[in-house]
Amino acid sequence: MKEDKFITLHKFNSLENAQELIYSLKKNGVKVQIEDTSPPLDITFSGNTLQNEVRIKVKQSDLGRANQILEKQAEQIVDKFPNDYYLYDFTDNELVEIIEKSDEWSKEDFMLSQKILKDRGKEISKEKIEKIKQKRIDDLKKPEKGHIGWLIFGFISAILGGLLGIFIGWFHWSFKKTVPTGQQVYAYDQKTRKQGQIIFLIGIVATIYWIYWTFR
């Protein structure tokens, strides 16, 4: 059975700022895992909190419900943003791009973009937004073609018995990316993955060969 693992839903710069979301998630029956990656206390005494990061994680099966909760929270505060908030200077096309690439923006910016467009008479229906989200997911799932320069460099490094060549081969062969749904898909297309596998195997064989001839 496929593992229902925890994935990051949202990031905060402090646990205090995350409390409202944690409460809302738990209230709606969503199991939460908190990961605090902030530096040790002696570092933060300087007052620099930019490095602080608290990750709120939920199970992959709960991601859709958790995102709805996050959007409802954001929707409740969009009216509180000041008129000089930077999104008000964005063009219609720039605001549409935020909606199209909502995974790259905060939920607050995503919801505020919709509100601004609506106020400008350019409202996007919820049905269309759902289609936009699905298209974005489909686009992100598409595997990429590997960069020929890196593949050639990896091939040469592998022949020379370098660990770098083995890593480059493994990366192009096995690396997976995570899409907004939490699903993991291979980052590279089948041709690139096959080339990566060949580079990886050549690197293993070459490394064993050079070790053998060095220490025999």
What are the structural domain ranges in the chain?
Answer: 1-61, 81-141, 148-215
Taking only the tens place, the pLDDT of each residue in 101-155 is: 999 998 899 999 999 999 999 999 999 999 999 999 999 999 999 999 999 999 9
Report CA torsion sign: 87, 91, 94, 96.
Answer: positive
Could you tell me which residue, 47 or 68, shows the higher pLDDT? 68
DSSP string, 72-131: HHHHHHGGGS-TTSGGGGS-HHHHHHHHHTGGGS-HHHHHHHHHHHHHTT----HHHHHH
Report CA torsion sign: 195, 197, 198, 200.
Answer: positive
Q: What is the pLDDT of residue 114?
A: 95
Q: What is the pLDDT of residue 10?
A: 87
Q: What is the mean pLDDT of residues 208-215?
A: 86
Sheet holding 32-36, edge to edge: 6-12, 54-59, 32-36
58 close to 4: Cβ distance less than 8 angstroms: no
d(CA 22, CA 11): 12
- Nearest Cα neighbor of 3 from 177, 184, 176, 142 is 184
Q: What is the mean pLDDT of residues 29-58?
A: 72
181 close to 137: Cβ distance less than 8 angstroms: yes
- For 35, how many CA atoms within 13 A lie in the half-sphere containing its CB? 11
User: 45 is written with which tokens?
Assistant: 């005494």
Average pLDDT value for the chain: 89
> Quick one: pLDDT band at residue 43, thresholds 50, 70, 90?
very low
pTM: 0.75
Helical pair 63-77 and 107-119, crossing angle rounded to 10 deg: 50
> Quick one: pLDDT band at residue 36, thresholds 50, 70, 90?
confident
Percentage with pLDDT > 90 across the chain: 60
Give bridge partners of residue 32 from the DSSP assignment.
58
Q: Is the pLDDT of residue 166 over 90?
A: yes
